[in-house]
Amino acid sequence: MARELIVALDEGTSNVKAVAIDASGKVVSKASRPLTVDTPRAGWVEQDGRVLLNASLTVLREVIQSVGENRVAALAISNQRETAMAWERATGQPIGPALTWQCSRSSAFCEQLRQEQQGDLIRSVTGLPIAPLFSASKMRWLLENTPNGVERAVNGEICLGTIDAWLLWHFTGGKQFRCDTSNAARTQLLNLRTGQWDEGMLALFGLPRAALPDIYPSSGLFGSTCGLSDLPDGLPIMAMVGDSHAALYGHGLGKAGGVKATYGTGSSVMAPLLTADTSITQLATTVAWHDGDRIVYGLEGNIPHTGDGVAWMAQATGLTDGKGQVLSRALDELPASIDSTLGVYFVPALTGTGAPWWDDQARGVICGLSRGVTPAHLIRASLEAIAYQIADVITSMRQHPDFHLETLMVDGGPTQNRWLMQFQADLLGCPVARSSTPELSALGAGLLARRALEQLNDGQLAALLPEHDRWLPDDARHQQLQLSWQGWREAVQRTLWQPAAQTH
């Protein structure tokens, strides 16, 4: 039988999954495992890199064994972004936890950079605002909290990387230390215009080039599997890409007017651009992907707590089963059972705010409580917060001269909530299109792998794209929701941090 399958891994924050994708773009096998997140103290969010690796290998084995290794042509990887790892080059063992994208332990150093007025320089080079979200300050923290960490990194004894580099290192038996352009663009160390590590940024963050991976296009050969138990040697790894970027590619290959919003633990809202314009200060300019022929840029807003905010509210209101799992049916039914939140707003700044506010000192707030408020109103407020946050980011995107919105293309677990999808369409006043494939990030990575493997063009790849379910906006409802949206913005202002001297 021909080797026609691409097996794509999607290593996320709350779960890891693998899917086998056939030559028509159909998912023919899949496996997944849940992942846990640790919060050892306020603002610290971490995972165990070895757990991420082992879970990734487990789901890959399950899928490859289910379809037969003789049918697998190549592997592809999409991954949670910004999460930083450090490991020993000699042994491959981590020297600390994986500091996730939600972690704000490096906020003091970020504040120092702001005080030194480095923000304009960092943005002009990397396209990113100063925030502990991005990898560089996390990598610095890992070295500073390792005995002789900086010295060992300079000597090439320590590797620093994002999750794609960590997985590739182990998948190839330590032979390849590489990352892709999209993940590199999330570190705050990549020069957007050269596509390479920037010496000035390395110096600013105190990170040696010797500790960083080489940068490759997202679509192309990264290496081959080697020395993995129960997995064949020699499987080529033909794509690596950040999960949000992979989702945008899987929606429509980056077609203009198609803006993507991933609804997950947090959310990424991304619009494709052809130039690296860094003028929208509230948002990040990033590399969406390098498909082997050209770089596509992205204008993006990152929101740390969307689905995570709903999960927190569900736990706080007791809307969980005995094992702590959110009762999804209740989340579907409760918002529609009431007409409004009775003026309640929930701003889930649980470890600070992301775009467009970028205040890592902000903390969450529930406001507008009255005697008639019930758990149903609080749950609805947590779901509305997702839509409001995404709408805030799109408002900032509208400042860009090349931006236009035809359809909001959505993916991720919370998009299964039909009430939320209609609310989002009504709030924005534009169609919302949900991919029929829940494994969209894996599919996007798989498409990039197939592009390189079979030398396909965009027209050929477009035939493999999944269908979308659509919600159309109600014009009257759109007008009504503008007042509620203004109330949301006023609630956000209550969360933003101000020095004590300015609060009187």
Residue 82 reports pLDDT greater than 60: yes
Reduce the DSSP state of residue 193 to 3 states and report it.
coil
Using alpha carbons, list the distances in angstroms from residue 113 to 130, 179, 204, 349: 8, 26, 9, 22
What pLDDT sits at residue 324? Answer: 56
What pLDDT sits at residue 403? Answer: 87
User: Has residue 297 been placed in a domain?
Assistant: no
Instruction: Name residue 34's beta-bridge partners.
Output: 15
Q: Which helix (H) or strand (E) holds 307?
A: helix 307-316
Residue 138 vs residue 500, higher pLDDT: 138
By residue count, the chain amounts to: 504
Task: Based on the fold, state whether residues 244 and 321 are members of the same structural domain.
Answer: no
User: Has residue 445 been placed in a domain?
Assistant: no
* Cβ 49 vs Cβ 64: under 8 Å: no
What pLDDT sits at residue 286? Answer: 94
Pick from 179, 234, 279, 251: nearest CA to 443: 251
Give me the long-range contacts of 456-463 (CB less than 8 A, separation at least 24). Answer: 458/253, 461/253, 462/253, 463/25
Q: Which of 227, 252, 277 is the last residue of a domain?
A: 252
- For 345-349, what is the mean pLDDT? 96
Enter the tokens of residue 360.
Answer: 């890592």
- For 192-220, what is the mean pLDDT? 97
CATH code, domain with 209: 3.30.420.40
User: Has residue 198 been placed in a domain?
Assistant: yes
Q: Which helix (H) or strand (E) holds 149?
A: helix 149-154
Residue 126 reports pLDDT greater than 70: yes
What pLDDT sits at residue 354? Answer: 87
**Sign, Cα dihedral of 181, 182, 188, 193:** positive
What is the residue range of 322's domain?
Answer: 303-435+468-496
Task: Based on the fold, state whether residues 237 and 316 are members of the same structural domain.
Answer: no
User: Has residue 451 been placed in a domain?
Assistant: no
Least confident of 81-90, 217-226, 228-237, 326-335: 326-335
432-467 burial, b at 16+ Cβ within 10 Å, e below that, comes to bbbbebbbbbbbbbbbbbbbbbeeeeeeebeebbbe
Note the pTM of the prediction, 2 decimals.
0.86
* Whole-angstrom distance, CA of residue 241 vs CA of residue 354: 22
CB neighbour class for 242 (10 Å; exposed up to 12, middle 13-18, buried from 19): buried
Residue 432 reports pLDDT greater than 90: yes
* Whole-angstrom distance, CA of residue 504 vs CA of residue 496: 15
Task: Based on the fold, state whether residues 109 and 228 are members of the same structural domain.
Answer: yes
User: Has residue 274 been placed in a domain?
Assistant: no
- For 395-400, what is the mean pLDDT? 92
Task: Based on the fold, state whether residues 248 and 310 are members of the same structural domain.
Answer: no
The percent of residues in the chain predicted with pLDDT above 90, rounded, is 81
User: Has residue 272 been placed in a domain?
Assistant: no
Confidence label for 102 from pLDDT (cuts 50, 70 and 90)? confident
Domain count, the chain: 2
What pLDDT sits at residue 179? Answer: 98
Q: What DSSP string runs through 175-186?
A: ---EEEHHHHTT
The mean pLDDT of the chain is: 93
Instruction: Name residue 140's beta-bridge partners.
Output: none
CB neighbours of 196 closer than 8 A, spacing ≥ 6?
A: 190, 215
User: Has residue 459 been placed in a domain?
Assistant: no
